[in-house]
Structure 1
Amino acid sequence: MKVVTILVAAVAILSRDVEAESYDSFSAFYMTRPGSVFHAPVEREVDADTRDAHVLYVYPGKPGQFTVLHGKLGEKALEIELWQDRIAVNGRAFRFARATAFPGERASDIFPDSADVYVVERTREHPPLICVEGNGSASGEAASRYRQVFLVMNPLGRKATFLQLPGLLSSCRAVAVTSDGKLAFPKNGYLLDAAHALRTGLLVEYFTFDGRRFARTSDTLQLRFNTPENPFQFSLRDSD
């Protein structure tokens, strides 16, 4: 009886461990990763007349709509305008089409009402950062799996760096500091079954930007979908 009790207890503990590695949200998964940089987005002004909508502004005589957000970097107040084709920080515009894009990525307009903006202070590992993510012009399956993700490094500095990050099943919350102190972000690719017919998981490879080019780090993860072709319920198979 004592042996059975011990075995049952061991199975229960192992079951809890397996459950702890299961996710149904990439946003939640990325936030649990060591070194996660971005957590909560900057609050936006809610439209009191429309459910689940935010206030959008226009300039008379000019095309387009934008949202206005307020934040701080150190003692410096930030006024951020988020347009479909750019983000403006204290009047300085960063146009999505001019971002240094990760190979294979292509910038498109985003819907300001769908977008989130994240701001973090300078640390020993990275300069001040602003990250934008939003829905682009994709349709069908791609609309639910791809996000436009843009990162501004040192946004108030004279030489800010503006990047477009990989968007497949990614997020600003995917940006992290690696164990050796590098600011990194994932490039995700599907894993296939033996017949190369079904997508069964995700290979997560982390990259950095050294000021001139994107470089892969040694940090790699593998995720397995609970059901093939459904990436929104998955388990972490390997740890970095």
Structure 2
Amino acid sequence: MKNMVRYAAVVAIFFARNVFAVTFYEDYDPFYATQPHTMFAAPIKSDSDVVYSIRGKPGVFAELQSRLDGKSLRIWVWEDRITVNGKTYRFANATTFPGEHPSSIYPQSANVFQASSTNGRPALLCLQGNGSGSGEAGRYTQIYLLVDPLAPKSKATFLQLPGLLSSCRAVVENKAGKIAFPKSSYLYDDKHEARVGLLLSYYTFEHRHFSKTDDEIRLRFTEPEIPFRFSVEDRD
């Protein structure tokens, strides 16, 4: 009888520890920040309340300044493009992940992140921003990754990444040392009636193509159809 009591106590402690070990998130940026080998941390500092215009040109832009790999950066974020040290990259000309569609953003909403080069990887800039929309449009972010921004424009790579519940902070360096980013897809209940979680499938961009990796993370919503409180269910 004593052995049974001890066994039950051990089981209770095991389950209690596992229950309390679950971390719940109410925002995706804190979740992405906990992932191994993230590429971006805090965005470049900017005055989000200030925008500029150029006489004779339509639209407004936000200006940011920084240093990357010992060189000065002057960045202008417009509604439909980003300019880095005078080189312009239009959203419409980005290599777009299948299913994504470039659209205008509010320059005031934009954040730009940077990562210095390493021995095996060039420097990176990542831009994210929001545009107009209704319904669930707020779950989507326009995300653009500029690989090798200090190189001549012809040698740089400009990508539009998947935007559903994602962020520049979601970009990582995977186990193979390659830049990877998630494509989010909803998970449904058994009747396929309610969205109960999110599947993050990681991709890389190589040889002018997006390629799926074996890395996946499954998130579980605390309540069906509400993706803004969740926990990690499992990862591959």
Please report the TM-score for the alignment, with normalisation by the length of structure 1: 0.90
CA 1:125–1:183: 2 relative to 1, 3 Å = farther
Could you say which residue in structure 2 is the equivalent of 1:64? 59
Could you say which residue in structure 2 is the equivalent of 1:14? 18
The whole-number CA distance in structure 2 between the counterparts of 1:30 and 1:112 is: 23
The whole-number CA distance in structure 2 between the counterparts of 1:104 and 1:5 is: 52
Residue 179 of structure 2: which of 178, 183, 194 is its match? 183
> Is the counterpart of residue 223 in structure 1 residue 227 in structure 2?
no
Q: Secondary structure at the match of 2:235?
A: coil
Residue 149 of structure 2: which of 145, 155, 158 is its match? 155
* Structure 1 position 116, deviation (Å): 0.5
Residue 196 of structure 2: which of 178, 196, 200 is its match? 200
* Structure 1 position 140, deviation (Å): 1.6
The whole-number CA distance in structure 2 between the counterparts of 1:70 and 1:211 is: 31
Could you say which residue in structure 1 is the equivalent of 2:102? 107
**Residues 154-181 of structure 1 deviation map (CA, whole Å, 9 limit, x = unaligned):** 0111200000000001110000011221
Judge which range, 8-17 or 152-161, deviates more: 8-17
State the superposition RMSD in angstroms. 1.7
The whole-number CA distance in structure 2 between the counterparts of 1:188 and 1:141 is: 14
* Structure 1 position 137, deviation (Å): 3.0
Could you say which residue in structure 2 is the equivalent of 1:34? 36
- Unaligned residue ranges in structure 1 (runs of 5+): 46-52
> Is the counterpart of residue 134 in structure 1 residue 129 in structure 2?
yes
* Structure 1 position 61, deviation (Å): 2.2
Q: Secondary structure at the match of 1:14?
A: helix
Q: How many residues align?
A: 230
Could you say which residue in structure 2 is the equivalent of 1:74? 69
Which residue identity is paired with 1:207?
Y
Q: Secondary structure at the match of 1:173?
A: helix
Q: Secondary structure at the match of 2:36?
A: coil
* Structure 1 position 127, deviation (Å): 1.2
* Structure 1 position 73, deviation (Å): 1.1
Could you say which residue in structure 2 is the equivalent of 1:50? none
> Is the counterpart of residue 119 in structure 1 residue 120 in structure 2?
no
Alpha-carbon contact 1:108-1:137 (below 8 Å) kept: no
Q: Secondary structure at the match of 2:212?
A: strand
The whole-number CA distance in structure 1 between the counterparts of 2:222 and 2:131 is: 27
| Percent sequence identity over aligned pairs | 48
Please report the TM-score for the alignment, with normalisation by the length of structure 2: 0.92
Which residue identity is paired with 1:77?
S
- Unaligned residue ranges in structure 2 (runs of 5+): none
* Structure 1 position 124, deviation (Å): 3.6
CA 1:235–1:125: 2 relative to 1, 3 Å = farther
**Residues 188-210 of structure 1 deviation map (CA, whole Å, 9 limit, x = unaligned):** 10011111110011111000000
Alpha-carbon contact 1:125-1:182 (below 8 Å) kept: no
